[in-house]
Structure 1
Amino acid sequence: MWFWFGVAALFLLLEMATGTFYLLLVALGLAASGTAAYAGLSLVWQIISGLAVSLVGLVALHRYRQSKGQVPTQSNPNVVQDIGRSVIVDAWDENGQVRVFYRGANWSARIDAGQPAQPGEHYIQAVQGLTLILRPGRYPASDTRH
């Protein structure tokens, strides 16, 4: 019984270090297994109860995230600090790519799909790996991100 609760506490500490909800679900499942052990159920039922609680939590978390209409991480300004920042493009190459000076370094950038490849001021729409995805003009949400 104490083994389940000890491992649950370990996963809870790991959850606090990572900030995902998945390790929390594992910790809740382990706590359910510990509760089943405390109730005197066999090892098989302890494992089944832990798996059931973890899976129910996973399904609930998945449905909750789907209902929120997730914004992709690479274009979410609450996650990526660069979204909405301005850069100046002198000229695009024939593939819609360019090197821009941003935050003290040269970055690879490309024009967002469906946008005209014209020189001038652009804003960062998304970041994919080490490539900035640009759109012409200013960031539509706010002028305070510059």
Structure 2
Amino acid sequence: MAESTIWWLLAGAAVAIELATGTFYLLMLCMGMVAAAISAHLGLPVTGQIITAAIVGGGAVALWHWRKSKQPKVAPVNANPDVHIDIGEPVQVERWNADGTASVKYRGANWTAVLAATAPGSPDSHGPGQFRIKEMQGSRLVIEKP
């Protein structure tokens, strides 16, 4: 079997595994295998093919990782006002429970609210008053002072 055929089969297997697992980095490594297959067609020895695969595949992974690290971080979905229209809305806390939660009425229903950046189980020192919704965690509202 020709060396180029082996590289093409390895590249095809990498694409199949990538489709099964959903990891994008395997496609970058596949690019290295394709470059090695092309270098095999051009007559490079096996050592040159492996070096070509390593440089192209590794370089593509490093470039993709660098590019992803430069993109701005996306806010978590549960704290994104574009996803949850309730983020930033005011709620009134009448009293805090001993476990650090409060029952608030919001949109005609009772919700359990917790204070942002407060350890669970610790009583709140802020007391009752006006708060705003910072985040939603399932059926709980994470609130903070405005």
Give the TM-score band, short-chain normalised: 0.5 to 0.7
Counterpart in the other structure of 1:67: 70
Whole-Å separation in 2 of the counterparts to 1:53 and 1:125: 43
Please say if 1:2 is aligned against 2:5.
Answer: yes
Whole-angstrom CA distance in 1 between matches of 2:136 and 2:50 = 43
What pairs up with 1:11-50 in 2 under 5 angstroms? 11-50=14-53
* CA deviation vs aligned residue, 1:31-62 (integer Å, no higher than 9, x gap): 11111211111111111111111121112212
| RMSD over aligned Cα atoms | 4.1
Give the residue type in structure 2 aligned to 1:113. Answer: A
Q: Which residue of 1 aligns with 2:117?
A: 113
Change (3 A) 1:50 1:57: same
Distance 1:92 1:27 in 2: 57
In the alignment, is the contact (CA less than 8 A) between 1:112 and 1:133 conserved in 2? no
TM-score, normalization by structure 1:
0.56
Unaligned stretches of 5+ residues in structure 2 = 87-94, 103-112, 119-123
Shift of 1:18: 2.9
Could you tell me which runs of 5 or more consecutive residues in structure 1 were left unpaired when the two chains were aligned.
78-82, 99-108, 138-146
Give, in angstroms, the shift of residue 24 of structure 1: 0.3
Contact 1:76 1:126 in 2 (8 A): no
Call closer, same or farther: CA 1:93–1:60 in 2, change over 3 Å.
Answer: farther
Matched-pair contact (CA < 8 Å) for 1:97–1:111: yes
Structure of greater Rg: 2
Cα distance, 1:93 vs structure 2: 6.4
Aligned residues: 118
Structure 1 residues 135 and 64: CA distance shift in structure 2, 3 A: same
> For 2:59, what is the secondary structure of its paired residue?
helix
1:55 is matched with 58
